[in-house]
Structure 1
């Protein structure tokens, strides 16, 4: 028959292992909670911004937006539908020129 002290040591070891496992789980849950708490205000701010944008421009900004559009320049379209770059440093969709695949490229392969 096992001794009482041996049984207590075995039980203590099991409880110690359970405590360590639960601490690891608590750290994992705390990290997930922290991430969710950081995401929540960002999503609330984003929702508010989207609601403002969908509501339309504020009363005083309508004329400014129309004036900006009226003064905008449209890039020249070369034959075939490609637009000429505004400067040599700007190249629209360089990935499409190298490998024209995907929904973002207008040419088909």
Structure 2
């Protein structure tokens, strides 16, 4: 089980496992392009994963953990985006 620290200003993405970094990267790229939140099904497809319930639920579990720790926001049920203040991989805002 990967530990996900509570986000704070200046905390680098490198403290997260590669799976969590990948989620943050795709959501940060979409936010930067003004494309809005993603569902876990959309994330699975963007990662080239089979869009099957087990994969989608694994992503949802990780995304919910990132929400609980302040890295992501869930502006609508099941739709995820970077939390306010969370920026690029180097940390900071």
Q: TM-score, normalised by structure 1?
A: 0.22
- Structure with higher strand content: 2
Higher Cα Rg, which structure: 1
- Structure with higher helix content: 1
